[in-house]
Structure 1
Amino acid sequence: MEEKLIVYGTSWCGSSRRARQLLDSHNIAYQWIDIDEDRVARSRVEEINHGNRSVPTLIFPDGSILVEPSDKVLAEKLGVPPPKSLF
Protein backbone atom coordinates (compact mmCIF):
# COMPACT_ATOMS: atom_id res chain seq x y z
CA MET A 1 0.00 0.00 0.00
CA GLU A 2 1.25 3.47 -0.89
CA GLU A 3 2.11 5.98 1.84
CA LYS A 4 0.89 8.99 -0.10
CA LEU A 5 -1.16 9.81 -3.14
CA ILE A 6 0.52 8.93 -6.43
CA VAL A 7 -0.58 10.65 -9.63
CA TYR A 8 0.42 9.05 -12.94
CA GLY A 9 -0.03 11.36 -15.89
CA THR A 10 1.58 13.13 -18.81
CA SER A 11 2.65 16.73 -19.27
CA TRP A 12 0.48 17.15 -22.38
CA CYS A 13 -2.76 15.80 -20.86
CA GLY A 14 -5.32 18.45 -19.85
CA SER A 15 -7.00 16.08 -17.39
CA SER A 16 -3.66 15.41 -15.70
CA ARG A 17 -3.05 19.16 -15.40
CA ARG A 18 -6.53 19.74 -13.93
CA ALA A 19 -6.02 16.99 -11.34
CA ARG A 20 -2.68 18.50 -10.31
CA GLN A 21 -4.19 21.99 -10.11
CA LEU A 22 -6.95 20.70 -7.82
CA LEU A 23 -4.44 18.95 -5.56
CA ASP A 24 -2.12 21.96 -5.50
CA SER A 25 -4.95 24.40 -4.76
CA HIS A 26 -5.78 22.43 -1.61
CA ASN A 27 -2.14 21.81 -0.61
CA ILE A 28 -2.56 18.05 -0.92
CA ALA A 29 0.77 16.22 -1.05
CA TYR A 30 1.26 13.79 -3.90
CA GLN A 31 3.95 12.17 -5.99
CA TRP A 32 3.78 13.08 -9.69
CA ILE A 33 5.03 10.49 -12.18
CA ASP A 34 5.08 11.28 -15.90
CA ILE A 35 4.50 8.00 -17.74
CA ASP A 36 6.13 9.40 -20.89
CA GLU A 37 9.40 9.61 -18.96
CA ASP A 38 9.14 6.50 -16.76
CA ARG A 39 8.82 3.14 -18.52
CA VAL A 40 8.11 1.23 -15.29
CA ALA A 41 5.34 3.68 -14.38
CA ARG A 42 3.87 3.39 -17.87
CA SER A 43 3.74 -0.40 -17.44
CA ARG A 44 2.06 0.04 -14.04
CA VAL A 45 -0.64 2.28 -15.55
CA GLU A 46 -1.20 -0.22 -18.36
CA GLU A 47 -1.50 -3.03 -15.79
CA ILE A 48 -4.05 -1.09 -13.73
CA ASN A 49 -6.04 -0.10 -16.83
CA HIS A 50 -6.07 -3.44 -18.67
CA GLY A 51 -3.51 -2.41 -21.29
CA ASN A 52 -4.60 1.21 -21.65
CA ARG A 53 -2.45 4.24 -20.85
CA SER A 54 -5.31 6.08 -19.17
CA VAL A 55 -4.23 9.24 -17.36
CA PRO A 56 -4.50 10.60 -14.89
CA THR A 57 -4.46 7.45 -12.81
CA LEU A 58 -4.43 8.23 -9.09
CA ILE A 59 -3.54 5.71 -6.39
CA PHE A 60 -4.56 6.73 -2.89
CA PRO A 61 -2.90 5.72 0.39
CA ASP A 62 -5.89 3.46 1.19
CA GLY A 63 -5.22 1.50 -2.02
CA SER A 64 -8.19 2.90 -3.93
CA ILE A 65 -7.70 4.04 -7.52
CA LEU A 66 -9.35 6.70 -9.66
CA VAL A 67 -8.82 6.75 -13.41
CA GLU A 68 -9.56 9.89 -15.43
CA PRO A 69 -11.79 11.31 -12.67
CA SER A 70 -13.82 14.44 -13.21
CA ASP A 71 -12.96 17.39 -10.98
CA LYS A 72 -16.15 16.72 -9.00
CA VAL A 73 -15.35 13.04 -8.40
CA LEU A 74 -11.76 13.82 -7.40
CA ALA A 75 -12.86 16.61 -5.06
CA GLU A 76 -15.40 14.30 -3.41
CA LYS A 77 -12.73 11.62 -2.89
CA LEU A 78 -10.41 14.20 -1.35
CA GLY A 79 -13.15 15.77 0.78
CA VAL A 80 -12.60 19.23 -0.67
CA PRO A 81 -14.93 21.60 -2.55
CA PRO A 82 -14.92 21.13 -6.32
CA PRO A 83 -13.51 23.95 -8.43
CA LYS A 84 -15.99 26.54 -9.57
CA SER A 85 -17.20 26.03 -13.12
CA LEU A 86 -16.27 28.63 -15.70
CA PHE A 87 -19.64 28.17 -17.42
Structure 2
Amino acid sequence: MSETQQTETPSIRVFGADWCGDCRRAKRVFGEANVAFEWIDLVATPEAADVAEDISGRKNIPVITYPDGTHQVEPSDADMRAKLTELGLV
Protein backbone atom coordinates (compact mmCIF):
# COMPACT_ATOMS: atom_id res chain seq x y z
CA MET A 1 0.00 0.00 0.00
CA SER A 2 1.61 3.27 1.02
CA GLU A 3 4.14 4.20 3.64
CA THR A 4 4.40 7.35 5.69
CA GLN A 5 7.85 8.91 5.57
CA GLN A 6 7.46 11.02 8.72
CA THR A 7 5.68 10.38 12.01
CA GLU A 8 3.15 13.21 11.88
CA THR A 9 -0.06 13.01 9.85
CA PRO A 10 0.85 13.64 6.23
CA SER A 11 -0.89 16.43 4.37
CA ILE A 12 1.11 15.92 1.19
CA ARG A 13 0.85 12.85 -1.01
CA VAL A 14 3.53 11.83 -3.50
CA PHE A 15 2.48 9.34 -6.16
CA GLY A 16 5.62 7.80 -7.62
CA ALA A 17 7.96 4.86 -8.05
CA ASP A 18 11.42 4.12 -6.68
CA TRP A 19 12.80 3.65 -10.21
CA CYS A 20 11.82 7.26 -11.06
CA GLY A 21 14.63 9.80 -10.57
CA ASP A 22 12.22 12.73 -10.24
CA CYS A 23 10.28 10.80 -7.59
CA ARG A 24 13.45 10.10 -5.58
CA ARG A 25 14.34 13.79 -5.90
CA ALA A 26 10.90 14.84 -4.58
CA LYS A 27 11.30 12.54 -1.57
CA ARG A 28 14.72 14.07 -0.92
CA VAL A 29 13.38 17.65 -1.10
CA PHE A 30 10.58 16.91 1.38
CA GLY A 31 12.98 14.99 3.63
CA GLU A 32 15.50 17.84 3.65
CA ALA A 33 12.67 20.26 4.49
CA ASN A 34 11.52 17.88 7.26
CA VAL A 35 7.98 17.95 5.85
CA ALA A 36 5.68 14.97 6.37
CA PHE A 37 4.35 13.27 3.26
CA GLU A 38 2.65 10.06 2.24
CA TRP A 39 4.54 8.03 -0.35
CA ILE A 40 2.20 6.12 -2.65
CA ASP A 41 4.27 3.52 -4.47
CA LEU A 42 2.76 2.97 -7.90
CA VAL A 43 4.66 -0.29 -8.34
CA ALA A 44 3.30 -1.77 -5.11
CA THR A 45 -0.14 -0.20 -5.67
CA PRO A 46 -0.61 -0.04 -9.46
CA GLU A 47 -4.28 0.98 -9.19
CA ALA A 48 -3.10 4.23 -7.57
CA ALA A 49 -1.66 5.20 -10.98
CA ASP A 50 -5.26 5.79 -12.12
CA VAL A 51 -5.80 8.10 -9.13
CA ALA A 52 -2.63 10.05 -9.98
CA GLU A 53 -3.70 10.33 -13.62
CA ASP A 54 -7.18 11.52 -12.58
CA ILE A 55 -5.57 14.23 -10.44
CA SER A 56 -3.09 15.46 -13.03
CA GLY A 57 -4.63 14.50 -16.34
CA ARG A 58 -1.22 13.07 -17.28
CA LYS A 59 0.70 9.82 -16.90
CA ASN A 60 3.89 11.57 -15.74
CA ILE A 61 5.18 11.07 -12.20
CA PRO A 62 5.64 12.16 -9.56
CA VAL A 63 2.23 13.65 -8.94
CA ILE A 64 2.30 15.60 -5.68
CA THR A 65 -0.90 16.75 -3.98
CA TYR A 66 -0.99 19.48 -1.35
CA PRO A 67 -3.44 20.26 1.48
CA ASP A 68 -4.72 23.35 -0.34
CA GLY A 69 -6.08 21.16 -3.14
CA THR A 70 -3.33 21.97 -5.65
CA HIS A 71 -0.95 19.53 -7.29
CA GLN A 72 2.34 19.47 -9.16
CA VAL A 73 3.60 17.06 -11.81
CA GLU A 74 7.36 16.55 -12.21
CA PRO A 75 8.13 19.79 -10.36
CA SER A 76 11.60 21.23 -10.01
CA ASP A 77 13.22 21.44 -6.58
CA ALA A 78 12.58 25.20 -6.62
CA ASP A 79 8.88 24.70 -7.41
CA MET A 80 8.45 22.23 -4.54
CA ARG A 81 10.30 24.49 -2.10
CA ALA A 82 8.24 27.50 -3.23
CA LYS A 83 5.02 25.54 -2.64
CA LEU A 84 6.16 24.47 0.84
CA THR A 85 6.97 28.10 1.63
CA GLU A 86 3.61 29.27 0.27
CA LEU A 87 1.86 26.73 2.54
CA GLY A 88 3.92 27.84 5.55
CA LEU A 89 5.47 24.40 5.98
CA VAL A 90 9.09 25.59 5.92
The TM tier, using the shorter chain, reads 0.7 to 0.9
- Please name the residue that 2:34 is paired with: 27
Which entry has the higher C-alpha Rg, 1 or 2? Answer: 1
Relative to the length of structure 2, the TM-score reads 0.77
- Please name the residue that 2:3 is paired with: none
Q: Which amino acid aligns with 1:69?
A: P
How large is the Cα RMSD of the aligned pairs? 1.6
Instruction: State how many pairs are aligned.
Output: 77
Relative to the length of structure 1, the TM-score reads 0.80
* Cα distance in 1 between the residues matched to 2:34 and 2:66: 15
Unaligned stretches of 5+ in structure 2?
Answer: 1-9
Q: Tell me, what secondary structure is at the counterpart of 2:25?
A: helix
Q: CA deviation at 1:48?
A: 2.3
Q: Tell me, what secondary structure is at the counterpart of 1:8?
A: strand
* Cα distance in 1 between the residues matched to 2:46 and 2:67: 22
- Please name the residue that 1:74 is paired with: 80
% same residue: 35
Contact 2:13/2:66 (8 A) holds in 1 = yes
* Cα distance in 1 between the residues matched to 2:28 and 2:80: 11
